[in-house]
Amino acid sequence: MWHAKTSRRNALAGIASCDRGVQLSRGLWLLALLTVSATVCHARGRPSPEASSQSAAFQWTDSQWGRVLLMKDYNTRIVIFGVAVLGGASGLVGSFTLLRKRALMGDALSHASLPGIAIAFIAANWFGGDEKSLPWLLVGATASGLLGVAVILVIRNQTRLKEDAALGIVLSVFFGAGVALLGVIQQMDTGHAAGLEGFIYGKTASMRAADARLIAITSLIVIAGCLFLFKELKLLCFDEGFAGAQGFPVIALDAGLMTMVVLVTIVGLQAVGLVLMIALLVIPAAAARFWTETMWRMMLWAAVLGTGGSIVGGLVSALFPGLPSGAMIVLVCSVFFFVSMMLGTRRGVIIRLIRRMRLNRRIDRQHLLRAMYEQLEKSSGGPDHPGLAERTNRRISVSLDKLLSMRSWSRRRLSRAIERAVEDELLRIQDGACKLTQAGFTEAARLTRQHRLWEMYLIAYADVATANVDRDADKIEHVLAPEVIDQLEDLLDEQGMTIPVPQSPHGPLGTGETLGTGETLDGQGVDADGYAGSERQRDASGGPQ
């Protein structure tokens, strides 16, 4: 067993040390290697009867914790090995189904396998075979699962119903048929259907070596399949239409992917039960999505989380005898999910809050500086004396109330923005009024220039009315890249419009009233929601590459 442990550690270390340039294949081959080595070690490490009795006597002094953590119990070892491999494989295929927006495929499939099991049982009974032989029931379950997948695909592709309805219809109708068939089986004189529901509800804690071996073989097939078809499946997940246009056999690929899901689901189903199987297909993949935007990394994360969750859950349930292992694995996985959802480095809730807060702060600062600049411009004689403005306006101070009246921002928000600007030495406060520093003035001039360049562009090229242009420019000025500014300058240059800081298109800024109304109007369009929306859009569009 130590071989298994060290090799697993090696594999994990190898996975962890993968840097950016390493192909997916390396990580996945490692995973496959892990499965193989674990299988081999598991086979080698099986104790003979006398050895086990000896070791039982020898280890009597070991504490329960030591026994469990070192996996000295044959039973614990098998259960943990089985669920760990299953967790890894279902994490892999789960990533694909999640991205295909079919996360509940496993749910539908595991319910859809019931009639197949019942029919296999009846058929075996009919022909006088052993009606509870596992391979026979597995064949029935797989056939019925595949039929379910076919029906789902037909409903989705041929009718106007969506994915979710197709899954629900197959789930309920197939399961209903299975329940009805079980009702008949219960009346058969030879057959005892008692074990058949167990096939669906699982028996994680009493998993046998044969189950574990079956899981390992199936997982190997599925991992190899994912690896072999990685590029094609990735394309299928992200752009089905493009994949079709490129000449990939989209329907065949989809069917292949679903066949792998069926294999994992059916094999896992009889070993660990319906709910754990659904959880292993959905939760690790969904948790992995928070950590990365890259497909192969997501698959690795999902496999690692699935394996890890299974091992931890299995160990916890072995340590505390009252806890059912299947349920513990699900709960550990959901803890992983919750932690990932909160702390995930790419799409986690906290990181997104921070990102949004940073964006809002930047926007507040830019609004503050531009408001300052516009006030200075006004009080230093306006556009009629541009030179004068350049020379004098930095020294003029603007009161807080004046700034407050320029936009629809709260006093608290404004004073926070001012505080932060003072910290960065863009502003100074003198006698309760704000004054720009040299750096602040340069920055303010640059921002105002950007805003007005965009306004002028909108007027000249997009035919936006002068009254609306300020609001439109306000939305985009914060995200203008330097190259775009260059292009804008070039474009406006052709029209002979370049000025160091171009004039506001809203006419001369001489009278305070016109400015006041204009600014209030534009302030309304700029609440935090507008930016939150744009950020959300970016989030949505930026899937893993």
Partner 1 sequence: MTGEPLVAWIGQMLPLGFSWSWGLDGWIVVIGSLAAVASSLLGNFLVLRKMSMLGDAITHAVLPGIAVAFLLTQTRSSPAMFVGAVIVGLLTAVFTEWIRGAGGVDEGASMGVVFTSLFALGLVILVQTADAVDLDPNCVLYGSIELTPLDTVSVGGRDVPRAAVVLAVVTVVNALFVLLFFKELRLTSFDPALATTMGFSSKWMHYGLMILVSVTAVACFESVGSILVVAMFIVPAAAAYMLTDRLGVMIAISVALAIVSAVLGHVLALSVPAWMGYRSTTTSGMIAVAAGGLFFAAATLGPRHGVLVKLVRRQLLSLRILCDDIVASLFRGEELEQPPPTATWLAGELFASNWSMKTALAMLRRRGEVADQDDRLQLTHVGRERGQRLVRSHRLWEQYLVDRAGSGAERIHDQAERFEHFTDRNLRDELAKETDTPVEDPHGRPIPDES
Question: Does residue number 165 form part of the binding site for partner 1 (CB under 8 A)?
Answer: yes
Retrieve residue 448's tokens.
Answer: 């105002």
Contacts of 300 (CB under 8 A, 6+ apart): 15, 18, 24, 27, 28, 31, 288
Question: Does residue number 158 form part of the binding site for partner 1 (CB under 8 A)?
Answer: yes
Stretch 81-110 residues interacting with partner 1 (CB under 8 A): 98, 101-104, 106-107
Question: Does residue number 538 form part of the binding site for partner 1 (CB under 8 A)?
Answer: no
Question: Does residue number 177 form part of the binding site for partner 1 (CB under 8 A)?
Answer: yes
For partner 1, which is the closer residue by CB, 356 or 413? 356
Binding residue (CB under 8 A) for partner 1 from 43, 69, 180, 252 = 180
Question: Does residue number 175 form part of the binding site for partner 1 (CB under 8 A)?
Answer: yes
Question: Does residue number 251 form part of the binding site for partner 1 (CB under 8 A)?
Answer: no
Binding residue (CB under 8 A) for partner 1 from 328, 376, 414, 509 = 328
| CB distance 349 to 342 below 8 Å | yes
Binding residue (CB under 8 A) for partner 1 from 38, 41, 117, 167 = 167
Closest CA to 360 of 508, 530, 132, 167: 530
Which range, of 141-149, 155-163, 215-223, 250-258, touches partner 1 by CB under 8 A? 155-163
**How many chain residues are in contact with partner 1, going by CB under 8 A?**
63
Angle at CA of residue 307, ends 306 and 310, nearest 5°:
85
Minimum distance from residue 530 beta carbon to partner 1 (Å): 15
Question: Does residue number 528 form part of the binding site for partner 1 (CB under 8 A)?
Answer: no
| CB distance 492 to 498 below 8 Å | yes
Binding residue (CB under 8 A) for partner 1 from 330, 418, 447, 526 = 330
Binding residue (CB under 8 A) for partner 1 from 62, 197, 384, 486 = 197
φ, ψ of residue 88 to 5 degrees: the values are -65, -50
Minimum distance from residue 11 beta carbon to partner 1 (Å): 27
Binding residue (CB under 8 A) for partner 1 from 64, 133, 159, 246 = 159
Question: Does residue number 324 form part of the binding site for partner 1 (CB under 8 A)?
Answer: yes
For partner 1, which is the closer residue by CB, 279 or 315? 279
Strand partners, 428: 435
For partner 1, which is the closer residue by CB, 98 or 515? 98
For partner 1, which is the closer residue by CB, 188 or 528? 188
Which range, of 50-58, 180-188, 408-416, 494-502, touches partner 1 by CB under 8 A? 180-188
* Binding characters for partner 1, 112-151, by CB under 8 A (x = yes): ----------------------------------------
Question: Does residue number 289 form part of the binding site for partner 1 (CB under 8 A)?
Answer: yes
Minimum distance from residue 180 beta carbon to partner 1 (Å): 4
In the Cβ-directed half-sphere of 198, how many Cα atoms lie within 13 Å?
A: 11
d(CA 359, CA 364): 9
Maximum CA extent, the chain: 105
Binding residue (CB under 8 A) for partner 1 from 13, 22, 161, 343 = 161
Binding residue (CB under 8 A) for partner 1 from 341, 422, 528, 532 = 341
Q: Is the dihedral of CA 300, 304, 310, 311 positive or negative?
A: positive
For partner 1, which is the closer residue by CB, 106 or 502? 106
Question: Does residue number 155 form part of the binding site for partner 1 (CB under 8 A)?
Answer: yes
| CB distance 230 to 24 below 8 Å | yes
| H or E, element range at 265 | helix 250-272
Question: Does residue number 237 form part of the binding site for partner 1 (CB under 8 A)?
Answer: no
User: What burial letters (b/e) apply to 439-476, b meaning 16+ CB within 10 Å?
Assistant: ebbebbbbbbbbbbbbbbbbbeeeebeeeebbbbbbbe
* Relative orientation angle of helices 466-476 and 512-524, to the nearest 10 degrees: 50
Which range, of 33-41, 184-192, 402-410, 493-501, touches partner 1 by CB under 8 A? 184-192
Question: Does residue number 194 form part of the binding site for partner 1 (CB under 8 A)?
Answer: no
User: What burial letters (b/e) apply to 2-35, b meaning 16+ CB within 10 Å?
Assistant: eebeebbeebbebbeebeeeeebeebbbbbbebb
- The DSSP secondary-structure symbol of 161 reads -
Minimum distance from residue 197 beta carbon to partner 1 (Å): 6
Residue 300's alpha-carbon distances to 25, 38, 308, 331, in angstroms, are 10, 18, 12, 21
| CB distance 404 to 415 below 8 Å | no
Minimum distance from residue 108 beta carbon to partner 1 (Å): 8
Binding residue (CB under 8 A) for partner 1 from 27, 140, 191, 326 = 326
In the Cβ-directed half-sphere of 205, how many Cα atoms lie within 13 Å?
A: 13
Which range, of 78-86, 211-219, 323-331, 448-456, touches partner 1 by CB under 8 A? 323-331
Strand, coil or helix: 398: strand
Closest CA to 410 of 355, 350, 364, 465: 364
d(CA 110, CA 266): 7
- Interface residues with partner 1 (CB under 8 A) are 98, 101-104, 106-107, 155, 158-165, 167-169, 171-173, 175-184, 187-188, 197, 201, 275-276, 278-279, 281-283, 285-286, 289-290, 322-324, 326-331, 334, 337, 341, 347, 349, 539-540
